[in-house]
Chain A
C-alpha cells in the first residue's frame, strides 16, 4: 500500500478498446423490442396453474385447514398442505450466517400449527386454470385460534411481551468494540445523541415472481424461474430428498431483483407440485401476492451517540441498532452484520461501540434489500454527521473532511480495505455540481441542500467463502462464446461479462454471445446479490479470457517468429505492429490452435479471499473483500404550507474503480437515486397488526418520472477495486446516500430535522408547526 497507493496509479495511462465507454448493452434491443422472453413467457402443454393460500391473520394457531370444498371444485387437481410435505421440517431458509438460533426460527414451507405473520403460506393449489386456482383459494377454510401478537420491535423486547419463537424475541445480536469508548466520551467537548427511524421498503420489481416447473424424460426436475440465485437447486433437492443433480434451474432475464428474489419457497412449491401431479406447473404472483410473498427491507431504530471535540474530531461513537426482523430470521443475521460494520460510515472512529440486534415480531419478515442494512445505517450516520456539525458550529462538509477515512485506514472492524477511499473527492464533486442555489420566488417555498457520503461493501461476506466460474471460447470465425450461470437481474450483468471477454480478446461486443443462467449447463457463478457479480464473475471471465489470450499469443508468436508480447489482438485480428504480412484473422488463429491441440477455450474460477469469522465480542476482522465509497448531493424545495417536497437536483458521485460500461453505471446511479428517493419521501408499508394496509402500487408510492429530476452521475475511477480492471461495485452503493442527502437538504430548507423516514408532507407540516409553537 505504501509506495503505490491506488491514488498514485489511478491516473495511469490505461487505454482500453471499449471498457469504460457507454455502450449499448447486449440485452437492450431484445428488451426494447419486447422479444426477450422472461420467465413468465414460458408455457407448456398440459400446464397446471398454482396459487398459494395465505393466512388472513398475523398471529394464531392453525386449528384446522379444511380443503374439501376447494378439492371438490371442478378443475382443481391437487392441493398441498403441510401434511403432504415429504419432510415436515423442510424450510425455504438457507443457512449461511453464524449466530442464528436454528432451527427454531426457520420458517416452515407451509404452516402446520402456528401462524406468525399475515400472509404466511398455508397451502398450494394446482388447477387447470389460474381462475379456478383463485376460486379454490377462496374455498379453503382455515380455523384459527388467535394468539396475542407483537408488532413493534421495542415492545417485543419488553418483559411479558408475546414471544414469537422460543425463549425471547432477540433473533440476532452483532457487536463491534474498538478502542476505549468511555475514554473517548471523556475526551469529547460535546456529546450529541439522536435516534433515527427507517421504514420497511418493498422491492416492487417490474416483474412479480413467476416460474414454470416440469419433470423431464430423465426424471430431472426443471424449473424456469426469475431468480437472483439459480443455485437454490441444492436446497430444493434437499427438501425433495433428491440428489442435487436431479434438480435443474434454468433462468431467464430477470425483471428486477434488489434482494427480493433470493428466496426459494415458490420454486419448492413448483417442484413439489410438478412431482406430485406429473404435469408442468406454473406459479405466477400477482402484485398483491408479491407484496406479501417476499421479505422486506428491515425497519430500524438507530440511536447514535457521538462524542466530538471542539475542533471537530469525533472522539467516540456509541451506536445501538434495533431492527424488526418480522416473524422469521431469513437473512437478518447478515443484514445486521452489514448494519454494524457500516455504523460509523466512512469516518475514522477510534473509539467505537456498536450493538445491532434484530428482534422478532409478527410483522412481515424482513430480509435482503439493496444496501442490506448498511443503507439504513447510512441514513442515520449521515444525518447525525450534519447534526454533530451543527452542534460544534462547523460546516457539514468541513466537519466530514476532518473525519474521513483515508486510503489505507482501517474501518470499524480493523480491516484495511485493499481499494482506495475517495470519499473526499466524491463529496466535493457532488456538492460542486449542485451549482448556484435555486432561489425560491413564492413566499411559501423554501429551498435547501444536503450531502451524504457512504461506505458500502461489494462482494459477499468474507467468512462465507465465494467462488464464481465462467467459460470462454473463441470460434473459428473469431466470434467468442461466454458461458456463465450468472443471473442477469437487469443491471447489465451479462453484457458486462461479454464486454470483459471482448476487451481481453480484442473483439467487438457484438462478436460475443453469452449462454447464461442454467444450473446444469453453464458454470456456476453464484447469486446475483451483494454487489458481487461484476467483481466475482467478471474476474472469472477475465481470467478465462486471459488464459486463452496467452495461449493464442504464444501460437501467433511462433507463426510470425516474434515474441508473444509483440502480438496484439485488435478488432478481430491478430497483429504484429504494422507489418501486413504478420497479421491474420483471430478465427484463423483459433483454427491453427485447434490443429495443434492448443485449447482456445477456458473454464476459470475466481475465488474471493476467505476470512475467519469476525470476533463475536469485538466484531474485529475482515467482513467483506472491499468497499465502495461515494456521495450523493441533493437540492430540494419544500412547500412550507403543505409539506410537499420537490427534488430539484440529484447528483451521485461514486468511485466505481473502473467503469466497464459507463451507460450501465449511470443506469445504476439513476436507479439508486430513484429507489432512495422513494425510501426518503413517499414509500410506506403501513401495517396494522401485521396486515399490510398499502398492498398495491396505488398506495405504495414509488417516485414516478414526474417526481424525478434528471439525475447527474459523476463517475470517478480509482482503478483500485478487487473486481476486473480495478472495478468496484455500484449496484448497492448507488442507493446508500440518497435518503440522508434528501433528509439533510430538507432540514437545511426548513430548519428542523425529522428523525423518521419517510419524510412525508404531513410529517414536514407537523414538524414546522412544532417549531412554531
Chain B
C-alpha cells in the first residue's frame, strides 16, 4: 500500500536532470497522479526527484508569436492567467473543469502531459493548439510535437532520464475559434468520459485549418485527422459538419469501463464534435458580421 523511497529535492534543473539520469529515479511535480499510483502499488519508484524548488520552471510567457508555459505551472496557474484565457481559451476552459480545487492547486501541466493518461484534460486543448513539448535530459534537449508524443496507453516518447520542461504553441491567427468540452459523470472532481477540443480557423468563409483532439476515447489522446481533413478547405454547412462529426466518431477507439461504454463514448464524440464545430462556425460567422 505504501512504499519507502528516497526523496531528492534539487534546486537547479541541471541537478534534477543529473539525478534523473539514474534509472531508479522518477520526477515528482504536483504528485497528484504519482502519489496515488504509489499508494496503490502501481508505481514503486526507488527515488523521487521533487521539482518544486527549481526556479524558472513555472512561468507563462505569451508574446506575439508564441505561448510558452513552464512544465511546473500548476493548473491553478493557468486559470489565473487572464492573458492565457484570451490566447488559449480551450486550455483555460479545461483547467477550470480539471479535477477539484486541491488537485488544481498542485497538479502541473507537465505532469498532466507526462502521466500519459488518455483522460488527461489539458492534452486535447494543447493538441488542438499544435503544442510542442520540450524534453530535457542531462545530455541535451529535444522538441516533440504533442500529437507525436503519445504511442499508446500510458506510453510516450519520453525516456526515463528526460523531463518535460516546457510546452509551447503558436499564437492563434485571427478568425480562429478554440473550444473544449469535458463530458464527465459529475461536474466536480471527475475523470473525463469524453474530452473534446476543437480549433478552427476560417477566412473568406473557408475553413483554413481544423484541429479536433479527443480525450478518453482511445488508448491516448488523439486527433481526428480525417475529420479535420473533411473540414479544411471547405465552406461550412450543416451536412458537412455532420459528416465530419461522424468521421470523428469513426476515428476514435473507445473502451468500456466503469464510467461509460465504448458505444456511448462514440455517440458523444459525434454529438459533441458536431456541437463544437457548429458553435465555432456560428461564432465566427457572427464575428464576421460584427466586423462588417
Contacts and interface: CB of A to CB of B under 8 A. Distances in A.
Contact of A131 (B2, B187, B188): B2
Contacts of B267: 765
A704 B186 contact: yes
A682 B2 contact: no
Contacts of B44: none
B121 to A, nearest CB: 14
A762 B261 contact: yes
Given A444-B275, A703-B186, A642 B258 contact: no
- The dominant DSSP class at the A interface is loop
Nearest to B259: A699
Interface string B257-275: 0111100100110011001
Interface residues of B, number: 22
B100 interface: yes
Contacts of B268: 641-642, 765
B191 interface: yes
Given A698-B191, A761-B185, A641 B272 contact: yes
Contact of B258 (A644, A699, A704): A699
Contact of B188 (A641, A642, A705): A705
B115 interface: no
Nearest to B39: A286
Contacts of B100: 704
A701 B272 CA distance: 23
A643 B265 CA distance: 11
A382 interface: no
Interface in A441-491: 444
Contacts of A444: 271, 275
Nearest to A641: B271
A444 B264 CA distance: 17
A357 B105 CA distance: 50
Nearest to B270: A641
A131 to B, nearest CB: 6
Q: Shortest 7 CB-CB distances between A and B: which pairs?
A: A704-B188, A706-B188, A641-B271, A706-B187, A762-B264, A134-B1, A707-B187
A440 to B, nearest CB: 14
A701 B191 CA distance: 10
A452 to B, nearest CB: 22
A773 to B, nearest CB: 14
Contacts of B275: 444, 641
Given A684-B258, A686-B258, 9 more contacts: A641-B272, A642-B183, A703-B186, A704-B189, A707-B187, A761-B193, A761-B260, A762-B261, A766-B264
B185 A704 contact: no
Interface string B207-225: 0000000000000000000
Interface in B242-280: 258-261, 264, 267-268, 271-272, 275
Contacts of A765: 264, 267-268
Interface string B187-208: 1111101000000000000000
B258 A707 contact: no
Interface residues of A, number: 27
A693 interface: yes
Interface string A750-765: 0000000000111001
A682 to B, nearest CB: 5
Contact of A707 (B186, B259, B264, B272): B186
A694 interface: yes
Nearest to A444: B275
Contacts of A682: 185-186
B213 to A, nearest CB: 18
B33 to A, nearest CB: 11
Interface string A690-704: 000110001101011
A430 B268 CA distance: 35
Which of B185, B190, B259, B267 has most A Cβ within 10 Å? Answer: B185
Contacts of A706: 186-189
Interface of A: 131, 134, 286, 444, 641-644, 681-682, 684, 686, 693-694, 698-699, 701, 703-707, 760-762, 765-766
18 contacts: A131-B1, A641-B275, A686-B258, A698-B189, A698-B191, A701-B185, A701-B190, A704-B100, A704-B189, A705-B188, A707-B187, A707-B188, A760-B185, A761-B183, A762-B261, A762-B264, A765-B268, A766-B264
A644 B183 contact: yes
Nearest to A693: B258
Contacts of B185: 682, 701, 760-761
A209 B186 CA distance: 26
B187 A694 contact: no
B188 A694 contact: no
Contacts of B189: 698, 704, 706
A644 B268 CA distance: 11
B3 to A, nearest CB: 9
A555 to B, nearest CB: 58
A699 to B, nearest CB: 5
Contacts of A686: 258
Contacts of A766: 264
Contact of B186 (A286, A643, A701): A701
Which of A684, A762, A765 has most B Cβ within 10 Å? Answer: A762
Contacts of B264: 643, 761-762, 765-766
Contact of B2 (A134, A681, A707): A134
B258 to A, nearest CB: 5
Contacts of A693: 258
Contacts of B271: 444, 641-642
B102 to A, nearest CB: 12
Nearest to B99: A698
Contacts of B258: 684, 686, 693-694, 699
A706 B184 CA distance: 12
A286 B2 CA distance: 12
A118 to B, nearest CB: 16
B37 to A, nearest CB: 12
A267 to B, nearest CB: 23
A286 B1 contact: yes
A642 B261 contact: no
A757 to B, nearest CB: 14
A642 B183 CA distance: 8
Interface in B82-139: 100
Nearest to A697: B189
Contacts of A694: 258
Interface in B169-191: 183, 185-191
B187 A704 contact: yes
A15 to B, nearest CB: 44
A703 B188 CA distance: 8
Contacts of B260: 761-762
A286 B259 CA distance: 23
A635 B108 CA distance: 37
Interface in B1-15: 1-2
A740 B258 CA distance: 24
A231 B258 CA distance: 39
Interface string B41-79: 000000000000000000000000000000000000000
A520 B185 CA distance: 47
